[in-house]
Amino acid sequence: MSRVAIVVLNYLNYKDTIECVNSILKMQYSVCGVVIVDNGSNNGSYAKLKNAYKQIGTIKVIANKKNQGYAKGNNRGITYARKRLRADFILVVNNDTIFIDKNYIQVLLDKYEPGVGVIGSKILLKDGYVQDEIKDCLEFKNYVSIYINLLSLKHGSCFEFPTGQGKYVSILHGSALLFTPDFFGFYKGFYSKTFLYGEESILYLMCQCRKLKQLYVPDVRIFHKEDQSSMMSFQNNEVIIRRYIFKSMKYIIWWIIKYHFQTYLENYHKK
């Protein structure tokens, strides 16, 4: 049996975290551990989570002194799961998710094959809508245009370059991602310089740079309440959201450049 650990990142929203972890405990697959990372909450979340699971040895609650964002926060849990729990596969899930298929992990593992870096599933939203893979136009011109548009908006300009004109690719949704040993052969976790937003696009490019596949498995679902922590922390304020997206843009552009430059060098050497 593969050693699978689950990482759940908590920020303020400990009630949803408890609901998520309780749904994990009802699943058929016996995981080697659940790592809850409290990401610098100032509302007593860490103490409440420690107390809730103090009698369950397979659930570890650790804390960051401050909010380190989505990527770094999850990476803390991934590092703990790999080094302390010796996990081969690590499932990273948003804390506002609930497992509704008890065979969820086993189905994903059954679909794994060498060369697959990350595996995702269907995401079921509260209105019954199924949120499949993300469609993104990861072309240099498109993301530079988005970056300039956001810069323009930030400084009160009124011009806007057209975006979304190019080839779209399918990207796994970040609310539930199973990282495989193939991925950890090259990377330690998420790209750590983003704080919030853009992580899925960068993860796709990271896989592309190492010829790793992202596999979408529609056979199982996970329920996602969607944006609960961001609602609690900044009420989904559009200005704050744009600020985080703007900060992430330059890193997405950097990974696009890296991927295309690497592809160019590979094609050059083939000639």
| Number of residues written out for the chain | 271
| Terminal Cα distance for the chain, rounded | 44
Give pLDDT tens digits for 105-114: 999 999 999 9
Give pLDDT tens digits for 86-99: 999 999 999 999 99
pTM score above 0.85: yes
Residues 251, 205 contacting (CB under 8 angstroms)? no
Give pLDDT tens digits for 184-211: 999 999 999 999 999 999 999 999 999 9
pLDDT at 231 over 60: no
Number of alpha carbons in the 13 Å side-chain half-sphere of residue 46: 12
- DSSP for 161-218 reads -----S--EEE--TTEEEE-HHHHTT-SSS-TT-SSS-HHHHHHHHHHHTT-EEEEEE
Of all helices (H) and strands (E), which one includes residue 94?
A: strand 89-94
Give the span between the Cα atoms of 116 and 94, in whole angstroms: 22
Q: At what angle do helices 238-270 and 199-209 cross, to 10 degrees?
A: 10
Strand partners, 213: 116
Instruction: Tokens 């009124």: give the residue.
Output: 158
